[in-house]
Structures are given as structure tokens and as C-alpha cells.
Structure 1
Amino acid sequence: MSPPARPPARTAWLVAGLVVVALNLRPALTSVAPVLASIQASLGLTAAHAGLLTTLPVLCLGLFAPLAPRLAARFDAERAVFGVLFVLALGTAVRGQFGTAGLFAGALLAGAAIGVIGVLLPGLVKREFPERASLMMGLYTMALCLGAAAAAGLTVPLRDAFGDWRPALAAWGGFALIAALVWWPQLRGHTRIAPAPGTPVRLMRSPLAWAVTLYMGLQSSLAYIVFGWLPPILVDRGLTALAAGGLMSLSVLVQLVTAFTGPMLATRLGRDQRPTLWLMLTLALIGLLGCLYAPLGSVWLWVILLGLGQGGQFSVAMLLIVLRSGDALTAARLSGMSQGVGYTLAALGPLAVGLLHDWSGTWHGVGALFALVTAAAAAAGSVAGQRRVIT
């Protein structure tokens, strides 16, 4: 069932709300890595502890994703998003308080909030924009990338301005409060769309649903390896923390290009999404290997390739949730499954990098791990990208 027509002004507010909320779903994840060395020196964290810090929010994305449908059923999706934005603000802000305990507790709260909101928004897109899903998912993913780039590039300057990493991390919590203000109009006057009658889709028995879930998790693992560890890798190769954070910001900023164009390319290039999916994975793999092993003077080229690949592979993953679903209810449930199970799987990536580095003392194992996960993501995408629908 399509949603009732709404006035253009209300549509504009909804689009603005989706964009501003999406802008807040990555700063808590990308603001830590640029100042990770300062955090370790200040709190005495080992590389294993640092790996856990980068892994914990991603793990919470998966563990708390199943809570999203329950909140939506009780309060509706719009009110659930509004309330959880305050949890995100609290978690992001508390990372700069109460020492190590506050750092990890804030990471947990922020990860949980992002996991819930990230599940709810694709279902809203499927419900409210059924004929413009690829455009809206491209816009949504572009906003995610912009928020990630801003946090990656501005956290070190904020640390230098404040004289400490703590207020630099806490400052990002204020933007979640701004998002709640922009989202406020969605709490009144909207019409809840009842799900179509019939037996719910048994997603856990669907090979296609599992393929979408595995692709989501594996490509997310690649992304969070980069979010958590690219700046420390570049610093160990000889760059300053400011330069490393700037290059990571450049990589994430470049994602805007394929985050927006990737879904449209994927729906127009052939009968399915596999060619676009394989192209993006290949670009990301070449980019990361260049960051690890190519001459340092050319690293800007490799971070650009890395960003182009990762922006596209994530936007296609989000698009697959919508395209493989026959209706808004299925989209909401597939969003919960793919992000719940997928992000739990994705959390193993940055943790494995921390353990590999602790064990070997070098970053050489990261290249092999990235290539292995890329191959597995391509295999899952070969099934998920086929033009089929879960019915």
C-alpha cells in the first residue's frame, strides 16, 4: 500500500530530516581513529584495547538492531527515531567524560543508537518513497558519508583548538540534538501505514535474505577496518596525525560521489546489481593495498580509490535491502536482519586488525585480511545482486 499524498512542504521536511539524521550516524564511528594515539597515550590503552574501542560501536550496531522493529511497533518509526537521537547525543558526548569507563560506555550507547536508527530509516524510505527508492537511498548514503568525512577531518583540529581529545569527541553529540530538532515535524500529522495482511516473510529461511545479510556484513567489515585503523596505519608509515586524519576525511568525502551515483548505476547497468557491486569492491581493495604498500607520496591517489569503492559498495548494500523486498514490511524486517546479523559480523574485522597488529607488530596482515573479506563479500554479492524479490 502506498502512503497517502502529502503536501510538498511536508515532503521537503521529511527529506531534510532524513538527511540530517543520516549525517549523525557516522561521526561517533569515525571521530575516534584520528585521535586514537592521543587516547592511548592519555589512558594507557594497549593496541588490543584500542581494537576493542573501534569494534564495540560496530558490535552494538548489530546487537541492538533487532530492537528497532519493537520500538517502531510500540511508538511508530518516526517517534522511535526522535527518541533514540537523544541516546545518540548522550553516548557521543559521554565519551569525553569519566575516563576509560566513559569512553567505552559512550561508545556502547552511540553504537546502540546508530544500530536502531539505521534499521528504521530504510523501511521509512521504502514506505514513503517507493518509486524513488534508488534516489533516496543514494541521498541517504551520501549524507552518511558526509557526516563520516566531517568527523574524520575535523576531530584533530577540534582537539588542537580545545587542547585535549575529550571535548573534541564530546562536541559531536551536539549535532545529534540539532538532528532531533529538524526531525521534530515528523512527530505530528503523519499517517501510519498498516502492513499488508498475510503471513510474514520467514527471512531466516530465505537464501536471498542471507545473501543480502552477508554482503552487508562483509562490506561493512571492510568499511570499519578503514574507519578504525587507516589513520594509525598512515601515522606508522610516517604521516602526522593531522595529515592522516585529513586523508581519511578525503577518502570518506570522495565516497559522496559513488554513494549518490552507485544506486542509480546499479539499477541501470544490466539486469541486476552484480557488475556495480564487483566494481566497487575491486576499487576499495586496490585503494587499501595502495595505502599499505605504495610509495607514501602517492597515498592521496589510493585513498581516493578506496573512498570511491567503499561509498559505492555501501550504497549498493542499502539499495539491495529495498530492491530485494516486495513491500515496506519486508524491507523493515530485512533491514533489521541484514544490519543486525551483518554488523555483528562486521565487528570482527577491526578487532581482528588490532589482534593481528598486536601479534605481529606490523600492518602486513591487514592487506591479506582485507583481500579475504573482499573475496567473501563478492561471493555473497553474486547471489544478493541478482534481480529477484523476497515474496
Structure 2
Amino acid sequence: MAATRCATRGWSTSPGCVRTGSTYRPCTSSRSSTASTSWRVRCPQRPRPWTTRWRRCFELWDSEAAAVQQGDAVATGEHPRLSRTAVIVLSVALVVVAFNLRTTIASLPTLLSDIRRDIPLTGAVAGVLTALPLLCMAWLAPVSSRLTGVVGYPYTTLAALGLITVGSGLRGLSQSAWGLLAATFVAGAGIALLGIVLPAVVKDVFRHHVGMATGAYTAALALGAAVASAASDPLSVAFESWRKSLAWWAIPALVSVVVWLIALRFLPAHHHGGAVDRRPHRLPWRNRTAWLLTLYLTAQASLAYAYVAWLPPAYIERGWSPLAAGSLYGASSVTSVVAVLVFPMLSDRSVGFRTMLMVAVGFTLIGTVWLWLLPDVLPWVSVVIFGIGSGAGFSMGLARVVTYASDAQSSSTLTAMIFLICFSVTAIVPVAIGALHDVTGGFSVPFGLIVIIAIVQLLLASKLTDEHIGTVH
């Protein structure tokens, strides 16, 4: 390939840029000594830039080199880099799409008392209603991975957003418990699809900026959860209807459909086929790295959802008002949005990934120990510390999903395995915390269990080294 291209284009094999008659020729072009299929153009003896002749020579050189790099990338199966405009549009689309990942889940709990006054729901049915999106994320994960492999991530993303839009809208029309459960299931299926496909998007489109892209969509996810939780009750008051408040979250999902359709126009043809290998892959059950990362993210999610469910009730028992107790966890959510952006960006630059991950999980452990041993001493500071660690630990764990997978399809199968185990366990942890509270009559023992989970997470984080990159197939 190298000899053919150089002979065809008349390139010189001598260093520098030379002129023969009216023909300008770039310097040596050779394959990289690494396994990369990209081309490198070297010119160690670069002439002075103000000479017109040499300026023209280097203009031709740059265009020739770009053509070779683009052509060889296509010929060898490596996807050429996207244009700057495409990257900007797809980055915006990624953030807008990720905003919808938790709005269905977070918008329900604050309205649950109003719903139960209008629709007769037993405590068990109410519990299933709140847990159903999580169960969808767990149990539909393998199906979502197969669909991504067959259809490709561009159209899987579109289908997921469509399901979230329809499910959110149907919740506003529900007149019975069964109707509400069915609508929540539809939206939960969309969330399951979207959660599986976004790491594949990052792997394929933003593979040169994994930490930054993962941080951006994780921040959008956390922001969507915070906004939905805070705005659902005011919307219910403004609309004088909890149904309209739930249905309102179909609007951002519908906007995301439009934005993603625009973004599809900026994807090259090979991206529309989805992953490199379109055959559905099996989940990596026998891969040690996959299990290590699965256990880490299971611990991370267990901590987060345990506090979502029980931190406000714990402080209400201590005499706090419901508004103040809810604001306490809200402070944790706000700081986590900042952390999910900052920590992955730092790990992408000069600071090592494992170092930043250990710092993040260390913050989590400090926050949990503080809330356990000193719950009445500066609790706002303790939840902020926990929020920083929790948000950063979650975002960097998702970044490891992308880097440990060998390609986009492997990323989706790894995510499916993580979701299946992680959210199955996560749905049980709040129940276990509540059972311990009922048995002991307080939150000391349950919060001690949370500290043990944080210690296990720290031990697992120490094993997530760079040697596992690209080992999950």
C-alpha cells in the first residue's frame, strides 16, 4: 500500500520537501511502527515558512497526507475522524439524549402520595411502581444488547427515545394502577435501551475523548434526575394534576428525538451500521475484567440508591422537616453533577485514571463514615463530600466500561451484563436497609452496612487498572 501510494503520488523518499520542475513533493510517508493503521508524514527538515515556494509545498503536503490518512482508514476498516462540526453536533445530541435517562424514575416519588389518593394503590404496588424502571434496566439489558448489535446504535437510540416519549405520555393518561404500571414499563424499556446504547456511542464516536464524553452524558443524566425530582411537585401544583406533571416529561424526550434525527445527518455511512461486528455477542460471563467492573458499579449504585431511598427519612426521624431533609439529598445531587464532569476530564489529561478513581471512592467512603458516626455534625458538608465521590465514581466507572471493551459492540454487551446484575441487586438494597431499620428501630445499623459497601467499593476500585483496557470482547 505504501509503495503504491508513494509511486502514484510521486512522493520523495528523502527528508524535507523538494521541488522537481513544477511538482512539489512531500517528504517521507511511512506506516507507524505500532499496530495503528493510520499514516504518519515526517518532515524533520522543515523549511522557513515565509518562503512562498515552500508554503505552497506544505499546503500540498498537508492535503496529500490528509487524503492518504482518510483513504487508508477506510481501506483498513478504521473509521476516520469526524469533522469538528460533526463532533460538536453529536456532543450536544449526546447530552440532550442523556438528560432523559432518569427523568421517568425521579419524577414519580414526589407525586406518589397524590397518586395514591387518586388511584387505590397498595404499598406493594407502589413499591413495584417505583422499582419497575430499575427492574427493566436489569432484566431487559440482554435484549437491549442484542437489539443494538442487530440494528445498530443510531436507530436503537431513536427507538429508546420513542419508547420514553410514549411511556411518559401514557402515564399522564392512566386511570388505573394497571395502566400506570404498563406506561411505566414502556418508559422503563426505553431507559433500558438507552442505558445500554450510550456507552457504545461514546466508544464509537468519542473514542479519543472517552472521559470527557462520559462525564458530559453522566452530568446530563444527574441533571435530568435533579430537575425531574425538584420540578415534578411544582408542575403538579401549576397544572393542578399529577397526570399532567408526569406527562410533561414526554416533552424533553420528544425534543431529544428531533435532536438525534439531526445528529444522524452528521454520522458517516459506516456509523449507521452500528458496531463494527453487527452479529449479537454473548454477555462476557467468563471474563474476569467484566466481573470486576460489574461488582464495582454494583457497589456504586447500591450506595447511591440506598441514600436516595433512606437519607431523607433518616433525617426526618431526627426532627428535620421534609423540605429540609429533601434539600439535604438535593445538595448531594448538585455536587455530583460537577464531579462527574471534572474528574473524568482530569483523568483524560495529566492525572492518572486510577489515581482519580481512588480519590473519588475515598470521598465516598469519608461521606458514608461521617453520616454513620457523626450524623448531626455538619451533615451538609458530609453529603457534599459523598456527592462528589458518588458522582465521580459513577462517571469514571462508566468510562471504564468504554475503555475496557474492545469495540462498540463489546461495550454494549459489557453494559448489558453490568445492568443485569447491578440493578437487580440495587433494587434489593433499599429493601434490605428498610428491613434493618424495622428490626433495629433506627438507622445506625443500616448506615453501618452502607459503610461496609463503600469499603468493598474502594477495594474493587484499586483493581481497575489500565492493564485491563481492551480485554473485554
Give TM-score, length-normalised by structure 1.
0.87
**1:30–1:148 CA contact under 8 A, matched in 2:** yes
Partner in structure 2 of residue 227 of structure 1:
308
Alignment of 1:251-266 (within 5 A): 251-266=332-347
Alignment of 1:190-269 (within 5 A): 190=267, 191-193=269-271, 195=276, 203-267=284-348
Say which SS state the counterpart of residue 406 (structure 2) adopts. coil
Q: Pick the aligned partner of 2:405 from 313, 319, 325.
A: 325
Q: Pick the aligned partner of 1:337 from 389, 409, 417.
A: 417
Which moves more between the two structures, 138-147 or 295-304?
Answer: 295-304
Cα distance in 1 between the residues matched to 2:97 and 2:451? 33
Identity of aligned residues (%): 32
Partner in structure 2 of residue 169 of structure 1:
246
Cα distance in 2 between the residues matched to 1:259 and 1:287? 17
Alignment of 1:256-295 (within 5 A): 256-267=337-348, 272-273=353-354, 275-288=355-368, 290=370, 294=374
Cα distance in 2 between the residues matched to 1:102 and 1:140? 31
Partner in structure 2 of residue 111 of structure 1:
188
Cα distance in 2 between the residues matched to 1:198 and 1:120? 15
Q: Pick the aligned partner of 1:129 from 206, 222, 225.
A: 206
Aligned positions, number: 390
Deviation at 1:259?
0.2
Change (3 A) 1:386 1:63: same
Stretches of structure 1 lacking an aligned partner (at least 5 in a row): none
Offset from partner CA, 1:130-185 (integer Å, 9 cap, x none): 11111111111111111111112222322333345443333222211111111112
Deviation at 1:314?
0.5
Partner in structure 2 of residue 66 of structure 1:
142
2:161 counterpart of 1:85: yes
Change (3 A) 1:167 1:231: farther
2:433 counterpart of 1:353: yes
Change (3 A) 1:137 1:296: same
Change (3 A) 1:32 1:352: farther
**2:281–2:413 CA contact under 8 A, matched in 1:** no
2:100 counterpart of 1:24: yes
Task: Give the root-mean-square deviation of aligned CA atoms.
Answer: 3.1
Which moves more between the two structures, 126-135 or 65-74?
Answer: 65-74
Deviation at 1:186?
3.4
Q: Pick the aligned partner of 1:300 from 377, 380, 385.
A: 380
**1:52–1:351 CA contact under 8 A, matched in 2:** no
Say which SS state the counterpart of residue 238 (structure 1) adopts. coil
Offset from partner CA, 1:176-212 (integer Å, 9 cap, x none): 1111111112344632355269997972211111101
Say which SS state the counterpart of residue 249 (structure 1) adopts. helix
Q: Which has the higher contact order (CA 8 A, sep 6+)?
A: 1
Stretches of structure 2 lacking an aligned partner (at least 5 in a row): 1-76
- Please list every run of at least 4 consecutive aligned residues from structure 1 whose deviation after the TM superposition is greater than 6 angstroms: 196-202
Say which SS state the counterpart of residue 353 (structure 1) adopts. helix
**2:283–2:413 CA contact under 8 A, matched in 1:** no
Which moves more between the two structures, 225-234 or 126-135?
Answer: 225-234
- Partner AA of 1:206 in structure 2: N
Partner in structure 1 of residue 236 of structure 2:
159
Change (3 A) 1:203 1:280: same
**1:126–1:328 CA contact under 8 A, matched in 2:** yes
Deviation at 1:33?
3.3
Deviation at 1:19?
0.3
Q: Pick the aligned partner of 1:57 from 130, 133, 140.
A: 133
- Partner AA of 2:149 in structure 1: A
Change (3 A) 1:123 1:82: same
**1:54–1:351 CA contact under 8 A, matched in 2:** no
Cα distance in 2 between the residues matched to 1:153 and 1:342? 26
Which moves more between the two structures, 43-52 or 16-25?
Answer: 43-52
Give TM-score, length-normalised by structure 2.
0.73
**1:208–1:383 CA contact under 8 A, matched in 2:** no
Please identify which structure carries the higher helix content: 1
- Partner AA of 1:137 in structure 2: T
Say which SS state the counterpart of residue 270 (structure 2) adopts. coil
Q: Pick the aligned partner of 1:367 from 437, 441, 447.
A: 447
